[in-house]
């Protein structure tokens, strides 16, 4: 069975990779539609021939890496079960300690380490592409430091969550999913609260915006939107990337308005103000709140479906995997596989909703600033700097893009300018 699993998995993966390669590099239509040609949304009007070529190459390679990495987590979890690795991890943890609050975190650490090792080459290739195409600027040592921080933070959080989860499964075998969801709700809110002040500073240095005049103008925009902010933060990202970004995150007293220094260096003042108006639009339209509410609702459904599928999977394949009951920690990869597949299934819907929210924030920003030239200029510069594909293949858009394409965003701004001039 183990040999057959390895052969079939390798064969299916190779066929899948070939199909995705053909789709991205030969079959997909990435040309500019006739209706957009010659407009401000046409990349030929604001990018050089070399930039256009690099944009197409970089976007395709990054999308290829995304699709190659997409099923990898599923293969790891299934392989750990089928090949008996899960039982080995479980026995090792039990040899260290008979207490669940010790042996379960050890199991999670081993599984996380294996997953990190297997996926590391894909992360490294993505980083290399970013460096080679002039997007990334971070040294390998700095990148590895961030990788290690991410690994230990995610492993620590996962160890706590999984330990609590299996305690619930063992005490409430038929209701664990409901109690787990009830505990997850305050956890999600807590993570949103501590993210800006505890987790983000582990990766970057935050300081007060170095341009006081610009800060005052941004805070004026925030005041118009009733955002309770008394300062704007600047984060030093130029040592890691040439890409640009800005955001408003956190809740309550921990809410922060943040600008990457690359955004400040590459955009003029009016363009920066438009970008910030867009981020403020998310706050005004309660997108953060609705995102949280949506996550809570989706998690409720996902936990219930996961519970049903998890119990069914253990009943059907548990003997072959050497797992007798759902209470056995060795069943964890099966549960993670189910949750990962459910997350993938719902992701196109989540991305569609996200694109709608981003369009709404764009509309708010252009109404707030009224500066179409700055708005279009900021998006064009974002496209050039990040070598973005303004018109990606449909599959890429619906599985990767949480924003409308740049072609759609710039076209909307041009339409706004046309309607304003009438």
The string of pLDDT tens digits covering residues 206-232 is 999 999 999 999 999 999 888 888 889
How far is the C-alpha of 145 from the C-alpha of 117, rounded, in Å?
Answer: 15
Question: Is 358 labeled as ligand-binding?
Answer: yes
Instruction: Show the tokens assigned to 384.
Output: 């050039």
For residue 164, name the pLDDT band (cuts at 50, 70, 90).
Answer: very high
Q: Return the residue matching tokens 């339409």.
A: 415
Please give the pLDDT value at position 288: 86
Q: What is the pLDDT of residue 58?
A: 96
- Whether residue 271 is annotated as binding a ligand: the answer is no
pLDDT at 66 over 80: yes
Q: What is the pLDDT of residues 329-350, one digit of tens each?
A: 999 999 999 999 999 999 999 9
Is 416 marked as binding a ligand?
no
Beta strands 256-260 and 206-208: pairing type?
unpaired
Residue count (the chain): 422
**pLDDT tens string 233-284:** 999 999 999 999 998 888 777 788 999 999 999 999 999 999 999 999 998 9
Give the per-residue pLDDT at 359: 96
Query: Which strands sit side by side in the sheet containing 233-235, from one edge to the other?
Result: 206-208, 233-235, 256-260, 246-249
| Across 185-202, average pLDDT | 89
Asked about 279 being catalytic, the answer comes back as: yes
Question: What's the pLDDT at 419?
Answer: 52
Chain centroid to CA 280? 20
Which listed residue (42, 271, 279, 389) is catalytic? 279
Exposed (0-12), middle (13-18) or buried (19+): which is 146, by Cβ within 10 Å?
A: middle
pLDDT tens track for 359-386: 999 999 999 999 999 999 999 999 999 9
d(CA 392, CA 410): 15
What string of DSSP letters covers 290-324?
A: HHHHHHHHHHHHHHHHHHHHHHHHHHHHHHHHT--
* Residue 151 clears pLDDT 90, i.e. is over it: yes
Indicate if 234 belongs to the active site.
Answer: no
Residue-wise pLDDT tens digits, 9-41: 999 999 999 999 999 999 988 778 988 999 999
- CB distance 16 to 24 below 8 Å: no
| Catalytic-labelled residue, pool 261, 362, 389, 408 | 362
Nearest to 108 by CA among 120, 92, 121: 92
CA–CA separation, 413 vs 141, rounded Å?
Answer: 41
Percent of the chain predicted with pLDDT > 70? 98
Residue 422 has pLDDT above 80, yes or no: no
Q: What is the mean pLDDT of the chain?
A: 93
For the chain, the domains span 2-20+44-202+287-421
pLDDT at 170: 94
Helix, strand, or coil (residue 256): strand
The stretch 94-123 carries a mean pLDDT of 95
């Amino acid at each position: 069975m183990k040999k057959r699993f390895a052969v079939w998995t390798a064969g299916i993966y190779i066929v899948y990779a070939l199909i995705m390669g053909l789709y991205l590099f030969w079959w997909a239509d990435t040309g500019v539609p006739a209706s957009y040609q010659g407009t401000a949304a046409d990349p030929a009007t604001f990018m050089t021939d070399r930039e256009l070529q690099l944009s197409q190459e970089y976007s395709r390679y990054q999308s290829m890496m995304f699709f190659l990495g997409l099923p990898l987590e599923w293969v790891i979890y299934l392989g750990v079960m089928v090949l008996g690795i899960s039982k080995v991890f479980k026995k090792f943890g039990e040899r260290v300690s008979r207490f669940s609050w010790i042996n379960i975190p050890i199991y999670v650490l081993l599984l996380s380490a294996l997953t990190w090792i297997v996926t590391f080459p894909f992360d490294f290739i993505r980083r290399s592409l970013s460096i080679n195409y002039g997007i990334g600027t971070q040294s390998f040592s700095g990148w590895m430091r961030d990788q290690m921080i991410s690994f230990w933070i995610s492993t620590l959080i996962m160890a706590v969550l999984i330990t609590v989860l299996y305690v619930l499964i063992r005490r409430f075998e038929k209701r664990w999913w409901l109690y787990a969801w009830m505990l997850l709700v305050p956890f999600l809110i807590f993570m949103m609260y501590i993210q800006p002040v505890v987790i983000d500073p582990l990766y970057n240095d935050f300081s007060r915006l170095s341009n006081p005049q610009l800060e005052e103008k941004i805070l004026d925009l925030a005041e118009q939107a009733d955002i309770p902010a008394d300062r704007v933060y600047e984060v030093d990202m130029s040592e890691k990337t040439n890409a640009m970004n800005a955001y408003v995150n956190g809740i309550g007293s921990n809410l922060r308005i943040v600008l990457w220094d690359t955004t400040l260096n590459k955009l003029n003042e009016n363009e920066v103000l438009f970008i910030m108006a867009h981020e403020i639009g998310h706050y005004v339209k309660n997108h953060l709140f609705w995102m949280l509410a949506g996550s809570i609702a989706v998690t409720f459904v996902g936990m219930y479906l996961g519970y049903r599928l998890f119990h069914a999977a253990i009943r059907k394949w548990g003997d072959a995997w050497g797992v007798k009951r759902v209470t056995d920690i060795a069943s964890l990869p099966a549960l993670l596989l189910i949750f990962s597949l459910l997350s993938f299934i719902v992701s196109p819907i989540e991305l569609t909703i996200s694109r709608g929210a981003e369009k709404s924030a764009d509309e708010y920003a252009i109404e707030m600033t009224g500066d179409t030239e700055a708005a279009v200029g900021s998006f064009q510069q974002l496209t050039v700097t990040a070598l973005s594909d303004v018109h990606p293949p449909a599959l890429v858009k619906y599985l990767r893009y949480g924003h409308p394409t740049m072609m759609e965003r710039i076209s909307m701004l041009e339409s706004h300018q046309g309607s304003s001039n009438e």
